Amino acid sequence: MHATDQASRSRRSVATSQTARALNRDILLRTIHRSQPVSRADLARLTGLQPSTVSAITEQLIDEGWVTPGAMGRLPRGRRPTFMMLNDQHVTLAIDMRPGKANLALVDINGKILARKTIDYELSAGLSVEEAKIVIAQIAQTARSLKAAFADRVFHGLGVSVSGRVNRKTHRLIFSPNVQWSRIDLYGELQKFFEDPIEMENAATACLFSERWFGDFRDASNILVVSISEGIGAGLLIDGRVARGHDDMAGEFGHMTLDESGPKCGCGNSGCWEVFASNRAGLRYYHELAPESTITTFQELLDRAKAGDLRALRSIDKMISYLARGLSMLVAGLSPEVIIVVGDCTALWPRIRPLIESQLIAKSFTPHTPSVVAAMDGDVARLRGAAAMVLRKVLFGKADFVPHVAREHMPRKTEAAPA
């Protein structure tokens, strides 16, 4: 054989072996993440990889610091197994930018909130670029103090959740009708304070990452996340991947028109879904029923509803009826397996869930309707999602989502690559 042909074959062989090992490494990392604490024997059983392959790669992951051996199990006989877990020394900063406030947290690789801060600010339509930069500098200073308080941890970057759509190529906010951050380069301003990688994402899509990384629906391939706050945003997982659309604008269902004669929306149109089903809409309904009221926040409305105020309850019921009306349209077009609702309104979940489900059933033209659940981590879903964006990129690269590790998709033992 010619020397050049031999060299080419050798390079292909090495590449193939390295690729297989990298795939096996990813499979084991995913399985540890999903099943921790888990023994090496269970990892071999769950993945279909050879025990020797599992042992070699887990030792490598331990040496790299990604995995840590935990407690030892007990068996009737034989060697006691050691359980593997992701090493919670790995952390990331998360920032959730909302109208009027920023929530910050330090989150470890297993989703634990180690520390949390909130910064209140004014971001009115007339706020200047320089004033906005001062707010960002204050947020960055608080974020750096959180990082410094956990200097012994391994820090992996900054995840930012924003109320708006982000162009992934330019990192600029391209649509943000309720918060005027699009006037400045939010990503660029944050880069002035952090040398670490920054991931920035729409809040609803961030919540999708939270559920996919930390939540109970890691095996679902079609998920609709609806985030309800001052507006309405949606994150879409379709056939296992995040739906982005042209110019990264997929998911702005809050601005589909329900009634053209309805109130003016921040986007410039009238009668959008969010003017009927957002927190602001709930407050508006209450003031229509109680014009003498001086409450100004949705939390105050919730507190009155919890205390049994009939007008508050009626206002939230009306808001949720419009929410369900919009969801029924999305279900008809997208056919999700599960709908995850994120927002303060889930504090009344035992009341609002039946309202949503009954309308989905009434409008459905199939015998099956999606499961409707509240976000598993409530008001911190956006923070955990911001952290998850960073962590999945550190561990698994740039893919929008790592495919879930279902047993039927695992390689057979005879197909497993050598360690």
Question: Which residue blocks in 263-380 are alpha helix, DSSP H?
Answer: 273-277, 279-289, 298-306, 310-334, 349-363
- Contact indicator for 171, 192 with CB cutoff of 8 Å: no
Pair (369, 229) in one structural domain:
yes
Pair (241, 358) in one structural domain:
yes
Pair (97, 79) in one structural domain:
no
How many residues appear in the chain? 419
Pair (113, 167) in one structural domain:
yes
Pair (136, 281) in one structural domain:
no
Q: Give Dmax over CA atoms of the chain in angstroms.
A: 92
pLDDT, tens digit only, all 419 positions of the chain = 454 454 444 334 334 566 888 889 989 998 998 888 999 999 999 999 999 999 999 999 999 999 998 765 555 455 667 899 999 999 999 999 887 788 999 999 999 999 999 998 876 655 677 878 888 899 999 999 999 999 999 999 999 998 878 877 777 777 666 666 666 788 888 989 988 889 998 888 888 888 888 877 877 899 999 999 888 989 999 998 888 888 777 778 989 999 999 999 988 899 999 999 999 999 999 999 999 999 999 999 999 999 999 999 999 999 999 999 999 999 999 999 999 999 999 999 999 999 999 999 999 888 889 999 998 776 688 899 999 999 988 888 755 554 444 433 333 333 333 33
> Which CATH number goes with the domain that contains 114?
3.30.420.40
Structural domain boundaries enclosing 311: 218-375
| H or E element, residue 214 | helix 203-214
414 in any annotated domain? no
Compute the radius of gyration of the chain from its Cα atoms. Answer: 24
Domains identified in the chain, total number: 3
Pair (80, 173) in one structural domain:
no
pTM of the model: 0.80
State which amino acid sits at residue 400.
D
Pair (389, 315) in one structural domain:
no
202 in any annotated domain? yes
CA 335 to each of CA 187, 320, 364: distance values in angstroms, whole numbers, following the listed order: 34, 20, 10
Pair (204, 318) in one structural domain:
no
What is the distance between the alpha carbons of residues 65 and 87, in angstroms, rounded to a whole number? 7
Pair (359, 245) in one structural domain:
yes
Exposure string of 40-61, with b = 16+ CB inside 10 Å and e = fewer, is bbbbbebbbbbeebbbbbbeeb
> Per the structure block, which two tokens stand in for 87?
């090493």
Pair (363, 293) in one structural domain:
yes
CB hemisphere CA count around 246 (13 angstroms): 0
253 in any annotated domain? yes
Cα 255 off chain centre by:
21
